[in-house]
Chains A and B, each alone.
Chain A
Amino acid sequence: MSALDPREELAQRLGLLHVPPPRFDSPKDVRDRLANHDYLSDDAIASVTFLADRLAKPILVEGPAGTGKTALAKAVADSVGARLIRLQCYEGLDESKALYEWNYRKQLLRIQAGRPEGSAEEWSHLEDDIFAEEFLLTRPLLEAITATDPVVLLIDEVDRVELETEALLLEILSEYQVSIPELGTMKAQQIPMVFLTSNNTRELSEALKRRCLYLYVGYPDVERERDIILSRVPGISSALAVQIAQVVRSLRMLDLKKAPSVSETLDWARTLVVLGREEIGEEDTVATLHILLKYQSDIERATKEILGRSKPVA
């Protein structure tokens, strides 16, 4: 077996005329271009994104809520100038919502519109006719496959669908194709980048994991969080950003029901900027803690542990 470049191999399988060039030159390139779109990555994120592009494999991004998993897909789409197609998963999602559906109203109209005295031949003709692409409603997955412009496919919160529904994704993830019984197999017109995100509310199946590269995105460390705040919140002083990052880290070390996410940190930072603060005082923290923490018991605990008070000021 000759060792083909994975991209070439896939392009051959898909029957593409030429191999699409890789999107990124190096992990450093990934980092820089994401940074240009206000997404600060770290080593792991950049390496895995780079690798996914080179190996033409989907990335499964896992981690706590609000650590920038979805934002990563968006930033990648922006940085390579592609359209983002998003499939939001939920319980009860099925192929008619994820892949495709026959537009049966239109089919019905077609049948009724051209109904001469029905003979067998005409029926078979009609059958061919009503199962044509014209009557197909494309849903996100099929749309991503059939798209001719550059796309990034984001399958968001894949852990929310049932185990059985996961199987729907397998063909598209490994072969970049969709089989429609009446029409045959639709192959991708390009090599799309695919991101799957998961909050890990349940174990994903082995079959799914096997087809993806795995990336764990945890909470950022203080330095990275500071940089994120600086890049996303206009008009914030670097000293305040450091302080915010430190407070948030201290909060995350507590045993809370829901640790503050990066997006909540940003909200908090914006609030403090709007309030015109140059540094965080205890009073401000108490007054604005509800932006970071969403459970009353968490707020009470944080006030007690970090500020050394027994009760929050009402």
Chain B
Amino acid sequence: MSEHVDAARAMEAIDLSNRSLVKNSLAATLVKDGDHMPVFNTAFEVFFANRSLESVEDLLNGEEAGGDDMNQEGAAGATGPGQSRGEGGGASSSLSAQELADLLFRALRDGNREALRRAANEAVTRYAGMEPGRPVGGTYYLYRTLRNLELDKLEERLSQVSLAPGDTDDVLAERLARDEARARVEMLKAEIEREIRERLVEDRGAEALAKSVRKPLPEDLDVMHANRDEMAQLQHALRPLSRKLAVRLARRRRRRHRGPIDLRHTVRRSLSTGGVPIDLRFKPPRPAKPEIYVIADISGSVASFARFTLHLVHAISSQFSKVRSFVFVDGLDEVSRLFEGVDDPSEAVARINAEADVIAFDGHSDYGRAFLTFHDKFADQITKRSTVLILGDARNNYHQAHAEVIADLKYRAKAVYWLNPEPTSYWDSGDSIVNQYAPYCDKVIECRTLRQLEAFVGELT
């Protein structure tokens, strides 16, 4: 609530005609997390699309013929058929594809914002093929426009130009030119995206569009259904998680339970208070050495989750003194050694996929068999200091459950946790048998998002 008050007060204090100032002020008062900025930016662009401002500008500059219509339409509530833009640009859209490409190229080469904006406008009119009234978020339009623009070629051309002719064998210069070109093309992409969004707002109004473009925050993304971009985002978010985890663990380890009283030290300190032991000194605590056994399903049904959890295992294993990791499909293999001395989690994951011997039979996950194998080989090493983490969806392909193995593990270990990447409502549907194992686990947790994972890890330590 107090954030709303702050935002309102901020609006009183500033010059409202300055768009970027309004945006920054709202961001400063409403958003309190750097990772949430992109979401805020999108929302701001949707609700404060600068159509009316822009048309005023256009009128002043006398540049765009359609500016006048647009202004009226904006005043009428922006519910028109969304044609005004198209018509506005209509006069000049007789450009050929080649001319448009040249226009874009020149705008990017000179870093000319105004020209870039016009070119983006042109490109969207030409290629996006926007249909008014369709309840979409614009990703498809963006894709269509970008595909037609052949950005790869454009990027290539740009990097060639900024490279001096003599430098062709200079790797560094070439790399710099390439990165510069890429940055400019990114600028173009952002511009096109903005253009599309503005048109959509004009077409359907901000409220409706906000619904279609609403994106989940990174920590709320569903791991199982993340697309490639989102997956990259997740892995990006996972890295600070492991660092945070490390900080928290170190802190907790240091603070938890002081050791017994250190008599010698206490007496020494008491000298300054005349022999009265005011300041008690304690021996440093004996470090606990928790052991963690991670058993992860890496079969196809949970592939993306598995990749994600393996990253987590890597993070954990750098923090605890003893982590042993196992992966299985229908066979089970220990992969602890593959994590050792590897800095980059993706490398470890790649090695696991290549080297681990996890398929014993037909390559369909068989939890019962995997647990049996684990029990045969390793059960006698599990002690009261061990925590067992099982990661998987418990979709057993109608094999035997062998839940008694888990029961025995629970008896031996300090705790057994099961992390299930499926939503709770899917549990025990089809061939999922999670509830056959559940009675023997200390906890079965739905773990679909980074937030849930973080909560669990916090509890665990």
Q: Which residues of A contact B (CB under 8 A)?
A: 3, 6, 26-27, 43-44, 47-48, 50-51, 54-55, 57, 59-60, 62-63, 91, 162, 200-203, 209-210, 212-216, 218, 222, 243, 246-247, 249-250, 253, 257, 280-282, 285, 297, 305-309
Residues of chain B within 8 A (CB-CB) of A249 are 179, 183
The contact size tier of chain B is 35 or more
Say whether B170 faces chain A, with CB atoms less than 8 Å apart. yes
Q: Is the Cβ of B13 less than 8 Å from the Cβ of A202?
A: no
Shortest Cβ distance from residue B454 to the other chain A in the assembled complex, whole angstroms: 9
- Contact mask B13-31 → A, CB, 8 Å, 1/0? 1110010110011011101
Q: Are A48 and B24 in contact (CB under 8 A)?
A: yes
Find out whether the CB atom of A247 lies under 8 angstroms from the CB atom of B176: yes
CA distance in complex: A314, B6 (Å): 56
Are B244 and A47 in touch, CB under 8 angstroms? no
Considering the chains assembled together, what is the distance between the CA atoms of A95 and B3 in angstroms? 28
Task: Decide: A214 near B243, CB < 8 A? Known: A202-B248, A246-B179.
Answer: no
Q: List 25 A-B contacts (CB under 8 A).
A: A43-B20, A43-B21, A44-B27, A47-B20, A47-B21, A47-B25, A48-B25, A51-B13, A51-B14, A51-B29, A54-B14, A60-B32, A91-B251, A200-B240, A202-B248, A203-B244, A209-B32, A214-B27, A222-B180, A247-B176, A249-B183, A280-B172, A282-B171, A305-B175, A307-B171
- Chain A residue at smallest Cβ distance from B244: A202
Pairwise interchain contact B34-A55, C-beta atoms closer than 8 A: no
Residues of A within 8 A of B25 (CB): 47-48, 51
Output the least CB separation between B276 and chain A (Å): 13
Which residue of chain A has the shortest Cβ distance to B236 in the bound complex? A255
Give Cα A282–Cα B169 distance, bound, in whole angstroms.
11
**Do B6 and A201 have beta carbons less than 8 Å apart?**
no
Q: A27-B21, A44-B27, A306-B175 are in contact. Are A55 and B183 (CB under 8 A)?
A: no
Residues of A within 8 A of B343 (CB): 257, 297
Residues of B within 8 A of A215 (CB): 28
State the Cβ distance, B161 to closest chain A Cβ, in Å.
15
Q: Which residues of A contact B9 (CB under 8 A)?
A: 6, 55
Q: Which residue of chain B is the closest to A47 with respect to CB atoms? A: B24
- Nearest CB of chain B from residue A161's CB, rounded to whole Å: 10
B3 to A, closest residue via Cβ: A210
Q: A47-B25, A162-B251, A306-B175 are in contact. List 18 more A-B contacts (CB 8 A).
A: A47-B21, A48-B25, A50-B14, A51-B25, A91-B251, A200-B34, A201-B244, A202-B248, A210-B2, A210-B3, A214-B29, A216-B37, A218-B34, A246-B180, A247-B176, A280-B172, A282-B171, A297-B343
Kindly count the residue-residue contacts between A and B in the assembled complex, taking CB atoms under 8 Å apart.
Answer: 103
B376 at the interface (CB under 8 A from A): no
B137-173 CB contacts (< 8 Å) to partner A: 170-172
Q: Are B171 and A55 in contact (CB under 8 A)?
A: no
Query: Which residues from A are CB-within-8-Å of B18?
Result: 27
- A250 and B179 form a contact (CB under 8 A): yes
* Cα–Cα, bound, A249→B183 (Å): 10
Chain B, Cβ-Cβ closest to A306:
B175
Q: Is B247 an interface residue (CB 8 A)?
A: yes
A250 and B175 in contact, given A6-B9, A51-B28 (Cβ under 8 angstroms): yes
Nearest neighbor of A91 in chain B, beta-carbon distance: B251
B29: chain A residues at CB < 8 Å are: 51, 213-214
| B407 contacts partner chain A, Cβ-Cβ < 8 Å | no
Which of A63, A214, A246, A247 lies in contact with B28, CB distance below 8 A? A214
Check B6–A44 contact: CB distance below 8 A: no
Q: Which residues of B contact A209 (CB under 8 A)?
A: 32
Interface residues of B in 26-75 (CB under 8 A from A): 27-29, 31-34, 37
Q: Mark B181-208, 1 if CB is under 8 A from A, else 0.
A: 0010000000000000000000000000
A214 close to B10 (CB less than 8 A): no
Give Cα A18–Cα B273 distance, bound, in whole angstroms: 49
Does B12 sit at the interface, judged by CB under 8 A?
yes
Interface string of B84-108 (1 = CB under 8 A from A): 0000000000000000000000000
CB-contacts of B236-268 with A (<8 A): 240, 243-244, 247-248, 251, 255
A266, B333: Cα distance in complex, Å: 50
Inter-chain CA distance A54–B180, complex, in Å, is 39
Assuming the contacts A57-B6, A216-B34, A308-B171, asked whether A47 and B12 have C-beta atoms less than 8 A apart, the reply is no
- If A47-B25, A200-B240 touch, whether A26 touches B15 (CB-CB below 8 Å) is yes
Given contact pairs A210-B3, A250-B176, A55 touches B10 in the complex (Cβ within 8 A): yes
Q: Which residues of B are found within 8 Å of A250, using beta-carbon distances?
A: 175-176, 179
- Interchain CA distance A218-B34 in the complex, whole Å: 9
